[in-house]
Amino acid sequence: MLKTLTVWNFALLEHVEIEFSAGLNILTGETGAGKSILIDALGAVLGRRLTGDFIRTGCEWLRVEAVFDISGQKDVKEILSEQAIDADEDTLIITRQYTTKGKNSILVNGCHVTIAFLKSLGEALVDIHGQHENLSILKQDNQRYIVDHSNTKVYNQLKSYEMVFSKWKELLTEIEEKKEKAANLNERLDMLRWQDQEIEQAQLTAGEEVELEADIKRLSNSERITENVEKAYCLFDGTEESEGILSAVARVRQCLEQAGRFEEQLSELVQPLEDASYQLQDIFYSVRNYKDALDFDPKRLDDIQNRMDQIDKLRKKYGSTVEEVLQYQKKIRQELEDMENFDANLEADEQKLQVLHDSLMDEGNKLTEQRKTAAEKLSSSIQRQLKALGMQSSQFRIMISESEPTLNGLDEVSIQFSANEGEKEKSLAKTASGGELSRIALAIKTVSAQNDDSVGSMVFDEIDTGIGGETAQMVAERIAWVGFFKQVLCITHLPQIACMADAHYHLYKEVNEGKTVTSVKKLSRDERIREVARMASGKDISKAALTSAEEMIEHAYARKESFRKRK
């Protein structure tokens, strides 16, 4: 539901802020007061095209901001979620600014979006019906939506069909992909077998390359290792020229023991030194054992390097580690198994596909029959509403025609219409004028309002063109009825429609500092009476006109109360 609309520098609208109500919002005013401009401004935040001509004379930019309550509107929230736009608080704020230089800035809950996204979002928020608009009911998807949501059985059957279709389509795509691969099956098989054999012949072990790299490092530095181990051994054990570390430590301990007899402080150093001596002896034994076992075989180094060359070759082809190479081998073996059983697997899949296709056709035919029944009933109901709305010679029919299987069924839904007697029914887009489309939309909404969970707001721009008297009253009552289920904004020149308002806004022009501006005012009850009287009798408003206007409003209130009971 549209909560507020704020406009800056949009044609005659210098700065206007309107708080709309739920139900039926009526906008009235003299011709040229700017009513349609206000709808153009609303269209701007719904993704309609803007040009510099809309910018108020003398200004550099225009801006329009709309605040929506989107509680309960799942379609809108899904669209926002796809763009990661937050809508947790059920409030949607759209701001659009356009400059004389053609710069277009669009914000949705603070996030910059494209005009294409704004247009798709706008279609889910508001349905604008005007004499020069491309109405949503011209779209075939929306025509089908009208039928599918008119009856619970049709909707439930559609869901059953969609489940089967999704499974059938998924398997069909899978089979087609397999057949595409089969074109190069033999070549692929030869390559996979060769790769598997190459990896298998290497007899790899996970983590093997780490150990080999350590061995190569050790063997490549064998001379340095030998030299330093020999030096370490000599330092421990001593040589002809010098005393070893162990002997020196033993003599130091002996000296401290003798001195410690006379100085307790020195005596305390003997035990730590003795402990150190034991540790040094352990290290000496380890060095001696390593020295005795030294055996660097040059051939062993060649063998290890050859093995690493073999592993490196495989790692360049199939993975950065031995583990990855082995994982790749596991993968190609699974693919080989699938390919070697290709014909049997494909035959099994095609049998499953046939079963799903039979089920799909069964569910689709049920859906078609239920659609035809619902379409016939809807056509009759909408036809009656059109005649009541003054279109006595019109013919309205919802056609169900056969088509290829899609997610939406086995048929296409299209509205056929003829405005005049004797003329052949044709598609709605080819035959209906703007005013006729508005009344057709009203007739459809009158019939389906209770079951329709589409857009939350509707706009009727001068739906009353060319009608009066009893037809005007019928239009007024149907707009009021739709207003029980949707928020409706309606521009009108007819008092019969205006008196049905739940909220009445008057647009008027005035001149400020030599410039014409349009202002908007929400009318009180007394102001409503006066405005309805003006619409009925012109500028010269008599006491009788005021009394008549008050009676019309009271009558409208009574009619709406009767609708409320029917609801």
> In terms of pLDDT, which residue wins out, 135 or 52?
52
Residues 124 and 12 in one domain: yes
Is position 349 within any domain?
no
Q: CA-CA distance, 361 to 553, in Å (whole number)?
A: 55
Report residue 131 as tokens.
Answer: 């004499």
Is position 454 within any domain?
yes
Percentage of the chain with pLDDT > 90? 35
Residue where a domain terminates, one of 281, 304, 320: 320
Question: What's the pLDDT at 276?
Answer: 87
pLDDT exceeds cutoff 80 at 88: no
Residues 437 and 544 in one domain: yes
Q: What is the mean pLDDT of residues 398-410?
A: 92
Residue 427's SS3 state is strand
468 contact partners, CB below 8 Å, separation of at least 6: 494
Residues 114 and 238 in one domain: no
**Of 78-87, 301-310, 435-444, minimum mean pLDDT range:** 435-444
Structural domain of 86:
2-131+433-566
Question: What's the pLDDT at 132?
Answer: 47
Residues 311 and 213 in one domain: yes
Q: What is the mean pLDDT of residues 111-131?
A: 86
Is position 139 within any domain?
no
81 contact partners, CB below 8 Å, separation of at least 6: 87
Total domains, the chain: 2
Is position 488 within any domain?
yes
Confidence of residue 240 (pLDDT cuts 50, 70, 90): low
Is position 516 within any domain?
yes
Is position 275 within any domain?
yes
Is position 153 within any domain?
no
Q: What is the mean pLDDT of residues 485-498?
A: 90
pTM greater than the 0.85 cutoff: no
Q: Among the residues of 389-505, which ranges form H helices? A: 428-431, 434-448, 469-482, 495-498
For residue 53, the domain's CATH number is 3.40.50.300
Token pair 């050859």 is found at 306
pLDDT exceeds cutoff 50 at 500: yes
Question: What's the pLDDT at 454?
Answer: 66
Residue where a domain terminates, one of 286, 320, 354: 320
Is position 166 within any domain?
no
Residues 118 and 234 in one domain: no
Confidence of residue 133 (pLDDT cuts 50, 70, 90): very low
Q: Among the residues of 221-321, which ranges form H helices? A: 222-237, 245-260, 264-267, 270-293, 298-318
> In terms of pLDDT, which residue wins out, 567 or 186?
186
Percentage of the chain with pLDDT > 70? 96
Phi first, then psi, for residue 241 (nearest 5°) are -90, -25
Residue where a domain terminates, one of 274, 294, 320: 320
Question: What's the pLDDT at 453?
Answer: 64
Question: What's the pLDDT at 464?
Answer: 73
Q: What is the mean pLDDT of residues 24-38?
A: 89
